[in-house]
Chains A and B, each alone.
Chain A
């Protein structure tokens, strides 16, 4: 199975900050990478897929990049509703696998 390692595991930031979360795959995943946001007690929500494609309705302050084994989620200017846990997911190999999550706190 392809292992996905996210860093950091937690992050403290303030409204208006620019933050980045990194996801590293154990092998090349050819941009088959998605990012999800999860708030407490809720289902995950798709933010980006294919590394950098924004899901419909997701604000443009979210962006993604990377290639090969290393990928990044960036939030350009944090809003109060962005404080949540974020997961990366690779869908290049079967089974699909997720990172362990990054908790973004105020």
Chain B
């Protein structure tokens, strides 16, 4: 089954760090751009970051620019989000999602509480 599995969330103090992971299975991970999208409690969806499939192209939403770093390891079918200098407003469920426009496959989400 084509799927993404998110992990790495947890409870952290303001100013702390977390590293989220997303592992892909049953598709050619290295051929797809990937994203992180977050959802604060009771709120809507907010795009966080994008990484192209095989180039170094990476984009960040303004609220996380300079604090979050997105990377991928295509040999391990894995996507990573290093989150530093965390703030209360970063509290959310974080989803990894596949695609460069519409997002067709989503992870189950990993909760981050700051």
Contacts and interface: CB of A to CB of B under 8 A. Distances in A.
A81 to B, nearest CB: 18
B44 A96 contact: no
Contacts of A99: 44
Contact of B108 (A32, A43, A55, A94): A43
A36 B45 CA distance: 10
A45 B106 contact: yes
A46 B102 contact: yes
Contacts of A94: 50, 59
Interface string B85-114: 000000000010000111110111100000
A34 B59 contact: no
B73 interface: no
By Cβ-Cβ distance, the 7 closest A-B pairs, closest first, are A91-B101, A34-B102, A49-B102, A43-B106, A98-B45, A101-B44, A100-B44
Main SS class of interface, A = loop
A91 to B, nearest CB: 4
Contact of A95 (B47, B103, B106): B47
A64 to B, nearest CB: 12
Contact of B104 (A32, A42, A46, A100): A46
30 contacts: A32-B101, A34-B101, A34-B102, A34-B103, A36-B45, A36-B103, A42-B108, A43-B106, A43-B109, A44-B45, A44-B103, A45-B106, A46-B104, A49-B102, A49-B104, A50-B102, A55-B104, A89-B45, A89-B102, A89-B103, A91-B100, A91-B102, A94-B59, A95-B61, A96-B47, A96-B101, A98-B44, A98-B45, A101-B44, A101-B45
Contacts of B106: 43-45
Given A43-B106, A43-B109, 17 more contacts: A32-B101, A34-B101, A36-B45, A43-B95, A49-B101, A49-B102, A49-B104, A55-B104, A89-B45, A89-B103, A91-B100, A94-B59, A95-B61, A98-B45, A98-B47, A101-B44, A101-B45
